[in-house]
Amino acid sequence: MAASYRVRPEKPVMRKEIEYIMKRITAIILAVLMVLAIAAGAVGEENKIWFKGDTGEKVTWIQMRLKELEYLDKEPNGVFDEDTERALREFQQVQGLLVTGMADSVTMEMLETTTTKKSEARNWSYDEIMYEATEAAAGVSYAESFANMSTSMPMTAASKGRIDWNTEEYTTFESNRFLSVLTSPLSTFAADVDTSSYALFRRKVLSGERIPANSIRIEEMLNYFHYDYTQPRDGEPFGVTTEIAPCPWNEKTKLLLIGLQAAEVRKDERPGHNLVFLIDTSGSMNGSDRLDLVKRAFLLLLDELDPEDTISIVTYANRDRVVLEGTPAADKTRIMEAISELEAHGGTNGSAGILRAYEIAEKYYVEGGVNRILLATDGDLNVGVTSEGDLAQLVTEKKKSGISLTCLGFGMGNYKDNKMEALADYGDGNCRYIDTIYEARKALVEEGGGTFITVAKDVKIQVDFNPAMVKGYRLIGYEDRVMAAEDFANDEKDGGEIGSGHRMTALYEIVPADSDFDFGEVGSRYQETQAAADGGDWLTVSIRAKEPEGTVSKLYEYPVNDTAVRTEMSENMRFAAAVTEAGMLLRDSEWKGQTTWAQALELARGCQSVSGDVYKEEFVYLLTLLERAN
C-alpha cells in the first residue's frame, strides 16, 4: 500500500509576521530616501543665489523679511521683481554687504539674523561722515565726500565683538602739481597695477565709515577696471593706447590717456607654481572678514591650481610655524584640512613669518616658474620688525632670491595700508585688499594670471613733452612711483611689475601751448621754445621693461601726434575721467576745477561699457550714493 503525504498548512500567525516585517523595512527605506532627498534639496538651496525673475516660497520669505525690516512696502507675492531687488540692494548697503541686489548665502543669513529695522538705522550727517583732521602731523586728514546715507550699521557678523576704535595707518602724500615743460620736459614713473585703494574706498562707502584722503590713490582706482586697449603685437610684452581729448573739469586743459595692455599667458602655457601661503593668525585676525575670509579665499585659489603645483603654508602669531611644506596641489584634501584648522590668537611677529616664508619658497624654487609668497594679513605687526622702513629693507634684500611677494589685505579698523604697500612695492609684487569673497574671486581667480604670472618686470614709463605743443602737465596719481629722469635708463633702479593680462592706465592733465591757463609756469631767460618735431608730435611715450628672468631692459617708443587728438572723449577716457573726478573729490584736490559728483556720475553713466560689467555698475552705484549725499 502506497504511502500518502500531506502538506502542513502555513500558520496564519507566521504569514502576518512576515508581512509586518516587510512593511517596516519598506517604510524605513522610504524614510531614508526622503531624508536624503530633503538634505540634498537643503544643500542645493543653501548654495542657491536668488535674483530677479525667481519665484517660489523662498522668494516670499525674502519679501516678508524685507517688509518686516521696513525695506519693502508692498505685500509679498513670491515674485522676485524690481521692487524686491531695489529693497534688497538697500538692505545690503545698510548691512555693509556687497550690494548686488541678489540674495546670496551671506545676505540670506543676515536677513535671518538681523533685528534692526530701517527706521532704527542712524542716518549720518555730512559733518559726521567727513571732516578735516586738525592734526596734520599725524598724517590723518579726511576729504569731503558723502553723507545722508543710511549707514548706521547695526553690528554685522564682521564687526561683532570688536571694540570700536580706529588705528588704521596710511602714508601721507601730496598730489602731483603742474610742471613746466620748459624746466621739466621729462615725466618719469614706475608702473603700478595695484588696486587696493579702490576696494578700501568701496568698503568704507558701503559701511558708512570716514574715508581718509591718504587712502585714495587715483592710479589704483583707475587700474581696478577693465578698458578696451590695444592688444600686444610684434612680440612686444604689452600693447599701448594713447589719446588726447578735452578735459571735462577744466576747459583750458586737455587729458592725455596712456593705456598698457599686457600679453595674456594661456592657461595651458602657464609655468609651474611654487606658492607659499603666509597667513597672519594673530589675535587681530579673528573675525569673519579676516581669518575666516582668508581661509575661504585660499580654498578658492586651490581649485585653480594644477596638480603639479607646490603649496606650502606658514603662519605667524607670537612665533612662526610651518603648517605644510612642499605639498603638491593634487593633495587637495590635506591642504584644505590644514587651512580649515587655522585659528587666530596671540601677537603679530610678521617679520619672523616673512623670513620663514622666503626660506621655504627658496627650498622649492621652480626654475622659470612662478615663485611667490602670498601674505594674508591686516598689516598690524607688533612684534619683531614692525616699522614701514625696516620691513621694506627686509623684503628688498630677500627679493634678490627671485621670490615675489603678493600682499592680500584683510580687515578694517586696524588695517595698516602703509605697511602693505611698502611690502608689495619693495618685494617685487602687488597689493590687493580683500573685503568680500567676491573680491577674493576677482583677485585670485578671475585675475589670477595677472596676480601671479609676471610678463614684464621693472617697467618704467617716461613721457617727453614737446614744448611747441604743450607748456605744462601734471601726472594724475602715481605719487609714490615718480622717478628721476636719469633713473629711466638705469637698470639698477627698480620699476614696477606687470602680470599676465594686466591693464595699466595713466592720465595726464596737459596745458596746450596756446592755452592761457595759469599754473604758475616758470622758465629761464636762456631757454627758447623748440620747434615742433616733424609730423607735429605732441609728445613721445617711452617704456623700458625687462623680461621676467632678464636683467637688461628693452626700450619701446611711441610718438603721439595729431592722430591721437579727439574732439570728444572715447569710452576708455570717459570712464577713466569719471574715476579720476571721484578721486579728486575724495582727496579735495586743488586741481579738481569744475568737478562735481553729478558730473562724475554723468560721465560714468554715459559709458556703454558699464552695462554688463558688474564692477563698473557697482562704481556707478557708489557714485549715485555720493551724488545724492552732496
Q: Is the pLDDT of residue 435 over 70?
A: yes
Grid coordinates standing for 180? 613746466
- Name the helix (H) or strand (E) containing 555: strand 554-560
Q: Which residues of 320-338 are buried (b: 16+ CB within 10 A; e: fewer)?
A: bbebbeebebeebeebeeb
Chain-wide mean pLDDT for the chain?
83
pLDDT at position 534 is 47
C-alpha to C-alpha distance for 265 and 499, rounded to whole angstroms: 9
Give the pairing type, strands 496-499 and 470-476: unpaired
Question: What's the pLDDT band for 219 if we cut at 50, 70, 90?
Answer: very high
Question: How many angstroms separate the Cα of 445 from the Cα of each of 302, 372, 373, 448, 452?
Answer: 10, 16, 16, 5, 10
Q: What is the mean pLDDT of residues 97-117?
A: 79
Mean pLDDT of 479-499: 94
In this structure, of 62-66, 142-146, 248-252, 299-303, the range with the lowest mean pLDDT score is 142-146
Confidence tier at 451 by pLDDT (50, 70, 90): confident
User: Does the pLDDT of residue 409 top 60, yes or no?
Assistant: yes
Cα first-last separation, the chain: 119
Give pLDDT, residue 630.
77
Residue 112: band (very low, low, confident or very high) from pLDDT cuts 50, 70, 90: confident
Q: Which of 68-77, 84-93, 320-329, 466-475 has the lowest mean pLDDT?
A: 84-93
Specify the amino acid at residue 583: G
152 is written with which cell numbers?
548706521
pLDDT at position 317: 87
Query: Which tops the pLDDT comparison, 10 or 81?
Result: 81
User: What pLDDT was estimated at residue 222?
Assistant: 98
Q: Positive or negative, the Cα torsion across 453, 455, 460, 464?
A: negative
Is the pLDDT at 299 greater than 90? The verdict is yes
User: Which band of pLDDT confidence, cut at 50, 70 and 90, is reported for residue 397?
Assistant: confident
Where do the domains of the chain lie?
57-120, 179-265+455-515+536-629, 270-445
- Residue 15 confidence (pLDDT): 57
pLDDT of residue 45: 47
- Residue 171, pLDDT > 70, answer yes
pLDDT at 43: 40
From the list 553, 572, 444, 429, the residue with the least C-alpha distance to 496 is 429
Chosen CATH of 179-265+455-515+536-629 out of 2.60.40.1230, 3.50.50.60, 1.20.1050.10, 1.20.1530.20: 2.60.40.1230
pLDDT of residue 401: 83
Q: What is the CATH number of domain 57-120?
A: 1.10.101.10
Say if strands 320-328 and 370-377 run parallel, antiparallel, or are unpaired. unpaired
pLDDT cut 70: percent of the chain above it: 80
Q: Which of 424, 339, 338 is nearest to 379 (CA)?
A: 424
Q: Is the pLDDT of residue 138 over 80?
A: no
CATH number for the domain formed by residue range(s) 270-445 = 3.40.50.410
Q: Which residues contact 270 (CB under 8 A, 6 or more apart)?
A: 370, 449, 453, 500
Asked if pLDDT for residue 388 goes beyond 60, the answer is no
pLDDT of residue 365 exceeding 50: yes
Closest CA to 151 of 127, 133, 129: 129
What's the pLDDT band for 235 if we cut at 50, 70, 90? confident
Tell me phi and psi for residue 610, to 5 degrees: -65, -40
> Is residue 278's pLDDT more than 90?
yes
Q: In the structure, what pLDDT confidence band is assigned to residue 254 with cuts at 50, 70 and 90?
A: very high
Whether residue 26 has pLDDT greater than 70: no
Distances (CA, A) of 620 to 78, 119, 410, 507: 29, 26, 24, 20
The pLDDT of 194-198, averaged and rounded, is 95
pTM of the predicted model as reported, rounded to 2 decimal places: 0.74
Question: With bands split at pLDDT 50, 70 and 90, how would you rate the model's confidence at 538?
Answer: very high
Q: Is the pLDDT confidence value at 25 over 60?
A: yes
SS3 (DSSP) at 102 = coil
